[in-house]
Amino acid sequence: MLYDNARRDYLRLLKKLGITKCDGSFHSLRRAFAKNYVRRGGNVFYLQQAMGPLRP
């Protein structure tokens, strides 16, 4: 799987679902997941370990 193909499919999916608030980056998906996890009562320390460090 190439990055460009995954991004193209991701952007198509966002458009199909009518999601316009997202800037289209994979990082925004990661950030949205983390925010929703914490808002629903998730453990912040577990989240930190599960998500691991960002890779440039």
- Cβ atoms of 26 and 18 within 8 Å: the answer is no
- Cβ atoms of 24 and 11 within 8 Å: the answer is yes
Amino acid at 39: R
pLDDT of residue 56: 62
Spans of all domains in the chain: 21-56
Q: 1-56 pLDDT, tens per residue?
A: 898 999 899 999 989 988 887 777 888 888 889 999 999 999 999 999 999 887 76
Per DSSP, the three-state class of 9 is helix
pLDDT of residue 36: 94
- Cβ atoms of 26 and 7 within 8 Å: the answer is yes
Q: What is the pTM of this model?
A: 0.63
How far apart CA 39 and CA 33 sit, in angstroms, is 10
